[in-house]
Structure formats: structure tokens, C-alpha cells
Structure 1
Amino acid sequence: MELTVKLQVFEGPLDLLLHLLDKNKVNIYDIPIVEITNQYMEYIREMKRQDLNVMSEFLVMAATLIDIKSKMLLPAKETEEEEAEDPRAELVEQLLEYKMYKCISYELKDRQMDAEKVMFKEPTIPDEVAAYEEPVDLEELMADVTLKKLNDIFKSIMRKQEDKIDPVRSKFGKIEKEEVSLSDKMVYLEQYAMTHPHFSFRSLLEAQCGKMEIIVTFLAVLELMKMGKITIYQDKIFDDIRIESKVAA
């Protein structure tokens, strides 16, 4: 029996086997392995060596068919406990799975072709329709509203506002930035030193109003020391630091 086919008709060895089964109109669960193998080998002989990778797949299947054919020709060894396993079983399972996926691919291809015939239009809404607002009937909206309901709603809103207030942070006052100028503080200390030849460093700092002013005063003392307008001394460790003025009155 002659068989003239082309390689590009089939997507692989399983596809060729399904074609041969359909052509011979045989049951996939009862494959006449001898006849199908002969037809498959005839197809292999007529193939042209175009793609060795594709050719190798067909040759592997040919070897599988020959192996199954040889097992079918040998007498089956049956035991009392179990029947002999059909050597075609694995091949049948592969063919059924391939056939299922092939049918699914045809279904998807049909859906793709149907989808290509469908045209979609971007939604366009006229300006007057987009700007339309449904009128509100105030009388109907306020029909079941009473003073008690309004009062309950008001209390509920106020209660939510109170819940948002931090009980700790809400008691903090506004913190204002202290504006203390180093140059102004230096002028103040220089004038103070003119009338106070000797004074206490501790008393000077205690007379300041805030932390920032204390810091600036300390810096001013350092600057005046650098300029030689004042000197500092301490009799003993941990004693009060004394400041001596070098500024002429």
C-alpha cells in the first residue's frame, strides 16, 4: 500500500499516528499495530532530510512502534493472578491526550477567528450627558427628617470629632521659636561688663529667660573671651566660675 504525504502536513509523530488511525478507520483502543507500523515506516522512508530535529522525533516514534510490534508478535505470558499488560496502553494514552489538546487548539483557533470579526468602539459620551446631574427633590429627601434625627446626627458628628482629638497633645500650647541674636547678646554682655568688673557666670546664665538664650549667652561669653574683653577663672574644682571684665567703663 502506497502512502504519499508531506512532512509539513503533520505537527509531529502523534499527529501522523492519529491521521493513520482516522484514515484506516480503526478504534484507538484497539490499534492494529502491524499495519499502522508498516504505514508509518513507509512514511518515514519517503521523508526528505530537511530538519534533523523533526526527523529524530519521527524516528523515536518509529522505534517505539517497532518495539510494540515485536511485543505483539511474541506469545503473551499470562499468569493466574493478573492478565498480560497490553504493550499499546502507553501509546494509546499519549494519543488520547494529544487528541484532546488538538481539539482544544481547534476550538481556540475558531474563537480567535470569530474575535477578529468583532469591532469595538471606544465609549463616547456627549458633554451634555456627562454634565447632567439628576435633580434632587428636597421635599422628598427631607420628608422623614425630624429635629430629633438632626440632633442625633449632629451629636454623632461631634462625637467623632472629639474621638480624633489626642488627649495628651491637645493640651500642648503653641511652641514659638525664640529669636536670640548672638551679636545682640555680645553687645549686652559688653555693656554689662562695663558696669560689673566681676560677676558670676552661674548668675549670668540664671538671669536668662530660656534654653536658647542660655546657649547664645554661653557662646557670647566665648566670643568675648576670644576678643580679650573678659577673662574667666575658678578657684577650686566645682566652684562657681567668675568673670572678670577687661572693658573700660
Structure 2
Amino acid sequence: MQSVLSVKLQAFEGPLDLLLHLIDKNKVNIYDIPIAEITDQYLEYVNAMDKEDLDVVSDFLVMAATLLDIKSRMLLPAEENEEGEEEDPRQELVERLLEYKMYKYMAGELKDRQLDAERLLFKPETIPEEVAKYRPPVDLEELLDGVTLTRLNDIFRAVLRRQEDKIDPVRSKFSQIQKEPFRVADKIVEILNLAADQRQLSFREFLKAQSSRVELVVAFLAVLELMKMGSVTLREMDGEEEDFLLEASEELIKDRERLAEELTASIDG
């Protein structure tokens, strides 16, 4: 009884994949392929293939014909191109192999990333209930409607220049040590009382009423702090582009003392 030896061939994704395998196996330079040797080895593999799958075999046969054509052209005298250089019959094949090798490498990188991604676990959100329910005390877009830091800064600098013009050029050169009695918390209380009594006042006139540069800076910071807390708002004055109206909130009008205590405590704390 005659025994049959079954040989399992390595599977390749296409003829270019087989050619790259043969080049690596023979350790030859891809830019200088020994076409006769590689063609013989390629044909050995094609002859051993299962001929039932015609779609797969046809691709390998086309490449086999290409290799045989290149092999025959290598035996003929070299042709010259328009620039007078000898043409290499293997050039087109080399370019296809390099392009295929690049895409194969990229596919391998993407596969590795996919495998790495499968090992990642994502932690679900665990936001505390108090944080999830938090809402800003004021709507900043509504609060700053028509108000820009540039315009506020322009008013502040204009008033500051008026303060500097009041300085006596002679007396200002005298040395003097004194403690500035101004705090943001105290100025907040002052603004709260003014806003609650008058309901609205001129932002520019309020700054001009400050007695010194330090008090002016403290007053400006106090107004910004109250705006952030939603206790006062600034809106444009009708027909006056260089000034704003400082208005008290309804909560401030109703309970100024409690609000003043809370705001100053948060500032001092």
C-alpha cells in the first residue's frame, strides 16, 4: 500500500506577502533581488498549492508570470531610458513590495493597538451627589451682558489718573508712614449698604469718591467680588458709553445685614 505524505504549506495573504517572505528567508536586499533564485522558489510554492481555490491561485499565477517576464528581461541587454540611464526590470516590482511592506507594518501596528485597547477598563463616573447637583450661583453670560473687562479697566484707569492728578508734587516727596485702613471685606459692606439704599448708583462716580489709590483699588476689587457672588450687577447706562449702573439684587435689598455677614465671612475666611 502506497503511503501519502501530507505537507501543510504556510498561508500567505497574497503573492507579495510570499515574495517578502522569500526575500527575508534568503536575507537578500530588497533593492537588489536575485530574481532567478526567488522566481524558482516562488514557482515551487505555487506548484505545491491547492489548485481548487482558483481565485487565490490565479493571483499567485499572475505574479509567477510577472517574475518569469522579469527573469527573461534580465537576460537581455539592458535598455536605456530617456535620460540615458539603464532601466532595471525589477524596479516596478521593488516599488510594489516596498508599498506593500509599509501597509503590512501599519496593519500590524493597528492590530497591536487593538489588542492593547482590549486590556483597558474604564471606570464609570462616580461624581458625589452634592457635586452633581451644584449649579453656579449666577449666569456669567447674563451677568456680564454688555460689560467687558476692557471697559471696566478703562473706567478704573481714568479715575486712577484723576487720583494721581490730585497729588501735591511737593508734599508727595515727604516720607510718611501710615497704615491704610482699607479692607475688601469692609468695602463690601459699604457697597452693600449703598446699593441697598440707592438701589442703583454710578460705577464711575463711586470710584471717584474714593480718597486714595489704595482705597480705589480695594473698591474695584470689592465690586468684582460682589458681581461674582451675584449680589450686585452692572448694566450699561442709557446714553452713557463710559459708565455703568451698579444695581443691588433683590436678595440684597430684602436682607442686607445677613448677606453682608455671609459675604465678609467668606472673604475674611
User: Are the structure 2 counterparts of residues 77 and 154 from structure 1 closer, same or farther at C-alpha, using a change threshold of 3 Å?
Assistant: closer
User: Are the structure 2 counterparts of residues 147 and 19 from structure 1 closer, same or farther at C-alpha, using a change threshold of 3 Å?
Assistant: same
Structure 2 counterpart of 1:6? 9
Structural mapping, 1:84-233, within 5 Å:
84-133=86-135, 139=188, 147-149=201-203, 153=236, 155=238
Where relative contact order (Cα < 8 A, 6+ residues apart) is larger, the structure is: 2
Structure 2 counterpart of 1:204? none
Write out per-residue CA displacement over residues 149-174 of structure 1, whole angstroms, 9 at most, x where no aligned residue. Answer: 37863538xxxxxxxxxxxxxxxxxx
Normalised to the residue count of structure 2, the TM-score between the two structures is 0.49
Amino acid at match of 1:147: L
Unaligned runs of 5+ in 1: 157-249
Q: Measure the CA separation in 2 of the matches of 1:151 and 1:46.
A: 88
Alignment partner of 1:153: what SS? Answer: strand
Runs of 4+ aligned residues of structure 1 deviating over 6 Å after TM superposition are 134-138
Structural mapping, 1:50-89, within 5 Å:
50-78=52-80, 82-89=84-91
Q: Measure the CA separation in 1 of the matches of 2:9 and 2:68.
A: 22
Cα offset, 1:120, TM superposition: 1.2
- Cα pair 1:71 1:87 within 8 Å, conserved: yes
Write out per-residue CA displacement over residues 109-142 of structure 1, whole angstroms, 9 at most, x where no aligned residue. Answer: 00000000001133232222212356799949x6
Q: How many residues align?
A: 151
- Cα pair 2:15 2:63 within 8 Å, conserved: yes
Q: CA RMSD in A?
A: 3.3
Structure 2 counterpart of 1:22? 24
Amino acid at match of 1:148: S
User: Are the structure 2 counterparts of residues 75 and 152 from structure 1 closer, same or farther at C-alpha, using a change threshold of 3 Å?
Assistant: closer
User: Are the structure 2 counterparts of residues 79 and 12 from structure 1 closer, same or farther at C-alpha, using a change threshold of 3 Å?
Assistant: closer
- Cα pair 1:68 1:88 within 8 Å, conserved: yes
Mark the structure with the bigger radius of gyration. 1
Amino acid at match of 1:23: K
Normalised to the residue count of structure 1, the TM-score between the two structures is 0.53
- Cα pair 1:5 1:43 within 8 Å, conserved: no
- Cα pair 2:78 2:88 within 8 Å, conserved: no
